[in-house]
Amino acid sequence: MKYLPFELHTHTQHSDGDFIVSELIENAKKAGLAGIALTDHNTYSGYNEASDEGKKLEVLVIPGIEWTTFYGHLTVLGGSASNDWRVVSPATIKENVLSARKSGACIGVAHPTRVGYPICTGGWDDFLLKPSEYGIFTHYEVWSYLNPSVQHANLLSERKYASICEENIRLACVYGRDWHRGDSNVVYAATYLGIQGDLSIDNALDAIRNGRTYISCGLHAIFVLNDTNGVEYNVGARVRAGEYRFSGKISYFSDYYTKLNSIEYMEISLIGNGGNYTVPINKDGFFEFNLKCKEKKYLQPVVYGNVKGIYSKLLLATPYFFE
């Protein structure tokens, strides 16, 4: 299994982006991304060109759409195009989402806490679902937009995500740059997908569906949760309550990004209603510790450190859920 960086929320001139399709793919390549999801507002019309350009530059392009409704924005990745965003409403959201899921799509809430109407209609998640009702989705944009680790709106999303995790609902933790134009010299993150097998659309969607994801500003991570028999679990795994050893390695994704944004990792935590553990990461990036967790609890890997001189979260993973 390989964890590869993706940008799962992008726009082009097929909706309100400044990018022409080929520019988006070139920028993805330059950023070192293995793939993107093209999620233009309420249209698939850019996909064929994006897919062709992606093949030229070896950037995987996942077909997608951002259902840009009056009540919230949802990124729909893969699946069939027959689902209609115009029928989506708080009264029918469950059936709308399940029908997209049935067609094979991953579907999740985009920028759940961005300022909404009348500045950006649907910017805020107004579907009026209780945390216990979010199990219909596959993913949740815990971080959105630029400077994700220090943005107040993302702190609100982190809290909402925690309240969903507390309901024992596992949504893949994803980031959405909501990439519209080629802004340089900015702090952004990426969603790393744990790809089993070849790099393909199906395997990328499988990683999201199964919560094998983490989001980070410039860090690559290997997380290993071992039970007492030595069996290993991925992030997002549902495991038995009990004793575990948690270990792994953090490394910098690229020298360029690390220098540009002065990235420096420091500690790793497992946080959630299942406990609160923090250990330093050593200078070579390694860490390990033992833990014990009760049933119906979760623990989320979080890496802390500096970005542009500000101490903040640098990485969040989909939690482990203990049964």
Shortest distance in whole angstroms from residue 126 CB to another protein:
9
Shortest distance in whole angstroms from residue 108 CB to another protein:
19
List, as own/partner pairs, every contact residues 119-125 make where C-beta atoms lie below 8 angstroms and the sequence separation is at least 24, other chains included.
121/70, 122/68, 122/69, 122/70, 122/71, 122/72, 122/73, 123/73, 124/72, 125/72, 125/160
Phi, psi of 72 (to 5 degrees): 155, 160
Taking CB within 5 to 8 Å according to partner kind, which of another protein, Zn ion, none is near residue 73? Zn ion
- Which residue number, 116 or 248, has a Cβ lying nearer to another protein? 116
Shortest distance in whole angstroms from residue 29 CB to Zn ion:
21
Taking CB within 5 to 8 Å according to partner kind, which of another protein, Zn ion, none is near residue 130? none
Nearest to 174 by CA among 157, 151, 196: 157
- Which residue number, 21 or 270, has a Cβ lying nearer to another protein? 21
- Which residue number, 127 or 265, has a Cβ lying nearer to another protein? 127
H helix runs in 231-285, sequence order: 255-260
What the block records as the tokens of 297 is 């609890």
Shortest distance in whole angstroms from residue 56 CB to Zn ion:
25
Taking CB within 5 to 8 Å according to partner kind, which of another protein, Zn ion, none is near residue 25? none
- Which residue number, 147 or 300, has a Cβ lying nearer to Zn ion? 147
SS3 241: coil
Taking CB within 5 to 8 Å according to partner kind, which of Zn ion, another protein, none is near residue 158? none
- Residues 80, 83, 89: CA angle, nearest 5 degrees: 150
Nearest to 38 by CA among 230, 195, 176, 167: 176
Taking CB within 5 to 8 Å according to partner kind, which of Zn ion, another protein, none is near residue 72? none
- Residues 319, 178, 143: CA angle, nearest 5 degrees: 25
- Which residue number, 4 or 153, has a Cβ lying nearer to another protein? 153
- Which residue number, 13 or 168, has a Cβ lying nearer to another protein? 13
Cβ proximity of 275 and 291 under 8 Å: yes
Shortest distance in whole angstroms from residue 278 CB to Zn ion:
34
- Which residue number, 113 or 273, has a Cβ lying nearer to another protein? 113
Shortest distance in whole angstroms from residue 16 CB to Zn ion:
8
Phi, psi of 60 (to 5 degrees): -70, 130
Taking CB within 5 to 8 Å according to partner kind, which of another protein, Zn ion, none is near residue 178? Zn ion
Element (H, E) at 56: helix 47-57
Interacting residues with Zn ion (CB under 5 A): 66, 73, 110, 178
Taking CB within 5 to 8 Å according to partner kind, which of Zn ion, another protein, none is near residue 213? none
Q: How many helices (H) and strands (E) does the chain have?
A: 6, 19
Q: Within 10 Å of residue 231's Cβ, how many Cβ atoms?
A: 10
Q: Which residue is nearest to Zn ion (CB)?
A: 73
Shortest distance in whole angstroms from residue 88 CB to Zn ion:
13
- Which residue number, 86 or 283, has a Cβ lying nearer to another protein? 86
Interacting residues with another protein (CB under 8 A): 12-16, 40-46, 68, 70, 81-82, 84, 86, 113-119, 121-122, 124, 152-153, 156
Q: In what order do the strands lie in the sheet with 219-227?
A: 232-233, 219-227, 242-252, 286-293
Instruction: Give the total residue count for the chain.
Output: 323
What is the DSSP secondary structure assignment for residue 87, as one 8-state letter? G
Shortest distance in whole angstroms from residue 261 CB to another protein:
25
Taking CB within 5 to 8 Å according to partner kind, which of another protein, Zn ion, none is near residue 139? none
